[in-house]
Amino acid sequence: SQQGEEDPQALSIQEGENATMNCSYKTSINNLQWYRQNSGRGLVHLILIRSNEREKHSGRLRVTLDTSKKSSSLLITASRAADTASYFCATDIQGGSEKLVFGKGTKLTVNP
């Protein structure tokens, strides 16, 4: 079974709008990572947030983590057509090996 679950499964917005994707997980974690994937191939790492952190920023990306609710969100501000991709959250489970457990992803489409 998958640990993480992204919501929504698909999101379509206009260029310039903000996009918010959510991730929920089931067990305690060491860290949570967000990845982007274009065309079903290699994953590009976006942000890693550790369990003792609540918010991180990187350029137009903002990630929050609420360990009490076991949830995270990824906000992309001022979206561009080039942001069109699938976005995955992945958790490093506490007490487990260093493997990542991925959700099914959110497919984001940014229309020009």
Partner 1 sequence: GAGVSQTPSNKVTEKGKYVELRCDPISGHTALYWYRQSLGQGPEFLIYFQGTGAADDSGLPNDRFFAVRPEGSVSTLKIQRTERGDSAVYLCASSFIREDTQYFGPGTRLTVL
Name the amino acid, one letter, at 47: I
Residue 63: name the closest of 72, 71, 53 by CA. Answer: 72
Q: Which of 54, 57, 80, 104 binds partner 1 (CB under 8 A)?
A: 104
Indicate whether 30 belongs to the interface with partner 1 (CB under 8 A).
yes
Residue 23: name the closest of 96, 106, 83 by CA. Answer: 106
Site string for partner 1, 36-75 (x = CB under 8 A): ----xxxxxx--x---------------------------
Q: Which of 21, 35, 83, 91 binds partner 1 (CB under 8 A)?
A: 35
